[in-house]
Amino acid sequence: MGKTSFLVFGAGAWGTALSLQLHKSGNNVFLSSFDQTNLKNIASSRMNEKYLPGVELPDDIHVTEMAQDLLSEIDCVVICVKSPYFRKALSELKRSPASFKVLWATKGFDLESGMLLSNIVSEYYDAGIEHGVLSGPTFAEELAHNKPAAITLATNTINDPSQLAAEMSNENLRVYISTDPVGVQLGGSLKNIIAIASGISDAMEMGANARAALITRGAEEMRTLGTSLGASESTFSGLSGIGDLVLSATDDQSRNRQLGMHIGKGGNLDSFRETHNGTPEGVHAVSALVNAGIVNDDEFPITSKVYKILFEGLSAKEAGMELMSRPLRFEN
């Protein structure tokens, strides 16, 4: 059997790290991006100094512009762009008549509708296309340095997910399989919102008790929304649920937690954007959910408070007081 050809579309930190791991697994790997300037810099220096500095790319990872003849050589595309650019990425891929599997490692919702990204894939491709989502507790820098990690491939349409998981796995990366793409997508997206809240709490020195309460009640908000949308409850106990939540809510490598800490120290979203590359996915996620009317203050108080802090001027201190003074209720 020949090598499987993967195109990773999105040359940020995560796309670059995933390219390295797919290459380590023995695959033929192409890396492309909308950012042509950064792509040229990566091709010439063999490093992604903008998003993943200090990590060298092997010469046989092909850094290239998107082209129709390239897509004809690809077995599987992995979309790693930020959620606001997900539709644009699909539009670019759809131009090709070639047949390939479509995976995405983007964690978020469609900003226009609040829908899951799997629904957007269905808008662009017919039911016959094999597609799935990759998600789990992973930081790009650790993955790029070959530190052990585990992720989930969730799909209901890929004919042989075990084979695909094996092609992506290696001694440093273990790929598990799920048949719950709804739950896996929700876990990977919602945990970013809770990570913002955790960062705020820790920066305000509210203590370990408060952090544990936020993570636990945040996990309940994830489960509540997930099951209402058809996800399996058990998914939120897995890698893409509690696994990713604990990682993002407790480790300072998390950009969403970094944003929360910035706010907890007196900053805001605008000042964070001035000193960091781009906007954390939790911002897009909470905006999409609230604007689409999917969440409310009664069932999803943490999510709602994060939105009000980011976009309506609610102070972090006031948000904490409001959460603690809510009417008492049964835990589940």
Catalytic residue annotation: 191
The structure tokens listed for 260 are 């929360």
E strand intervals along the chain: 5-9, 28-32, 47-48, 52-56, 62-63, 76-79, 101-104, 131-135, 149-154, 173-178
- Residue 35 pairs in a beta bridge with none
Owner of token pair 């919702």: 109
- Angle at the Cα of 189 from the Cα atoms of 324 and 275, rounded to 5 degrees: 85
Instruction: Give the span between the Cα atoms of 200 and 55, in whole angstroms.
Output: 31
Question: In terms of Cα–Cα distance, which of 87, 76, 86, 131 is closest to 106?
Answer: 86
Instruction: Give the span between the Cα atoms of 325 and 308, in whole angstroms.
Output: 17
The DSSP secondary-structure symbol of 242 reads I
Length of the chain: 332
